[in-house]
Amino acid sequence: MTVLPSLLCRPALLPDESWWSYLHRLAAANGYGSFSLLAKVCNLRLAELGARDNLMRPQRPETFAVLATLTHRPPRELALASAHYFAQASIWPPMETINLDFGDGTSLPLLRSLLRSRYVLRPDAAQFCPTCLQEAAYHRRTWMLADVSACLRHQRLLHNRCPHCQAWVSVANIVRRQCGRCGAHLTDVVKEEGLASEGLSAQRTLQVWWGLGDPTPESYLESLPSQPPYVLYPLFELILQALEPSVSKHTPPAERHRRQTVAFSALTDWPRGFWAFLRARLEDDVRLYSYRYGYDFRDPVYLDHRSSLNFWFTVFREDPRFDFVQVAVERFLEENNVQICSSSWKTWMRVTADEDLQKIARPMAKQAHARLAELVAS
């Protein structure tokens, strides 16, 4: 097997450059017409080492070692440009990690495939900040994450579609700054309205948790419950899910940004933000119940285990890390006249609705009665 020991052109990694971006620039710099040719060279090398891997989703230390030989760059530096960088984030609970051992005395924790596919966007459905891209034509590691919806430096939303034809953009398109379908310049985006400070703070906090950006304490961070990110992050995810069950990582950045901001407001000014969130769940339950049963809550009523609020007083019970949430939930129940009743096999809640809840329930009950009368008449 005769393969060149290293590539002729070996560009340096740019600040915050992603692994995918580097591979595309490397292929272009060395005159490989397509990226797949570079992948072929790497796969041949890997085969010689008796290993197999996917260059776009590298999971083996040998892959970084091969690229290190081709580019004369330390394998760890290359791996830090990949999704494995996020294995060091503060959102993960302390646990045993598998290390990528590069064989030169350096290593890096491995980001498991399951986590990567959940939190990291795919290179064929990527996102970018038009201003960053205007400044320098490459794809940033920061943009790899679905939780990143805005550029903090330029205080603007990221984009994941061609501004002209709305096609998805790939990392290859971003590196060329051109849409792969219609050829439009990806930086020709009209600057959207400035982002609200709550949204930016939520985004800043998320990025700090992921190990991106400057971890200087912000007033916003101070109004969060004083718990480590690996406790707050799963709580944030549960709230996000409760608010918008259909959120996917391919949702447009603007929409993801809006949802993150709303979910974060439930964590700030703890526990007041969380109480407002629970109150909205309770109001939803009352609305649904009164419509379904034509009930106006003048007398107490029992909501069963299907109630959306039910989730919030059962989910944290067994986990001492979430005691602070349990305490907040109990205070909320008490102040809103909600009692939890449980038998050995069932949990439900007895709601004595206050004036405001009755105001919500009454029109819904009326509507339900009218609908029933209509049905009976027909």
14 binds Zn ion (CB under 5 A): no
184 binds Zn ion (CB under 5 A): yes
CA dist., res. 142 & res. 140, Å (int): 5
**Using a CB cutoff of 8 Å and minimum separation of 24, what contacts does 279-282 make?**
279/332, 279/336, 281/242, 281/308, 281/309, 281/312, 282/309, 282/336, 282/338, 282/351, 282/357
157 binds Zn ion (CB under 5 A): no
151 binds Zn ion (CB under 5 A): yes
Rounded to a whole number of angstroms, the minimum distance from the CB of residue 28 to Zn ion is 20
Q: Which among 42-50, 92-100, 164-172, 230-238 is the span making contact with Zn ion, rule CB under 5 A?
A: 164-172
Q: Which among 31-39, 158-166, 204-212, 235-243 is the span making contact with Zn ion, rule CB under 5 A?
A: 158-166
Rounded to a whole number of angstroms, the minimum distance from the CB of residue 131 to Zn ion is 4
- Indicate which single residue of 57, 60, 181, 331 sits in contact with Zn ion (rule: CB under 5 A): 181
Nearer to Zn ion, 27 or 129 (CB): 129
CA dist., res. 24 & res. 2, Å (int): 23
Rounded to a whole number of angstroms, the minimum distance from the CB of residue 173 to Zn ion is 9
Rounded to a whole number of angstroms, the minimum distance from the CB of residue 124 to Zn ion is 15
Q: Which residue has the tokens 């064989």?
A: 103
Nearer to Zn ion, 90 or 131 (CB): 131
Mention every residue, 6+ apart, whose C-beta is less than 8 A from residue 377: none
Residue 66: closest CA among 32, 97, 26: 26
Nearer to Zn ion, 70 or 157 (CB): 157
Nearer to Zn ion, 108 or 195 (CB): 195
349 binds Zn ion (CB under 5 A): no
Q: Which among 183-191, 230-238, 323-331, 341-349 is the span making contact with Zn ion, rule CB under 5 A?
A: 183-191
Angle at which helices 197-209 and 229-243 cross, to 10° = 130
Nearer to Zn ion, 153 or 306 (CB): 153
Rounded to a whole number of angstroms, the minimum distance from the CB of residue 165 to Zn ion is 3
| Torsion angle defined by CA atoms of residues 236, 125, 70 and 59, in that order, rounded to the nearest 10 degrees | 50
162 binds Zn ion (CB under 5 A): yes
Name the phi and psi angles at 140, rounded to 5.
-90, 145
- Strand pairing class (347-351; 338-342): antiparallel
129-163: string of b/e by CB count within 10 Å (b at 16+)? bbebbeeebbbbbbbbbbbbbbbbebebbbbbbbb
Rounded to a whole number of angstroms, the minimum distance from the CB of residue 266 to Zn ion is 28
Mention every residue, 6+ apart, whose C-beta is less than 8 A from residue 226: none
165 binds Zn ion (CB under 5 A): yes
Rounded to a whole number of angstroms, the minimum distance from the CB of residue 29 to Zn ion is 24
Rounded to a whole number of angstroms, the minimum distance from the CB of residue 192 to Zn ion is 13
Find the binding residues for Zn ion in span 72-131 (CB under 5 A): 129, 131
370 binds Zn ion (CB under 5 A): no
Q: Give me the residues that bind Zn ion (CB under 5 A), please.
A: 129, 131-132, 151, 153-154, 162, 164-165, 167, 179, 181-182, 184
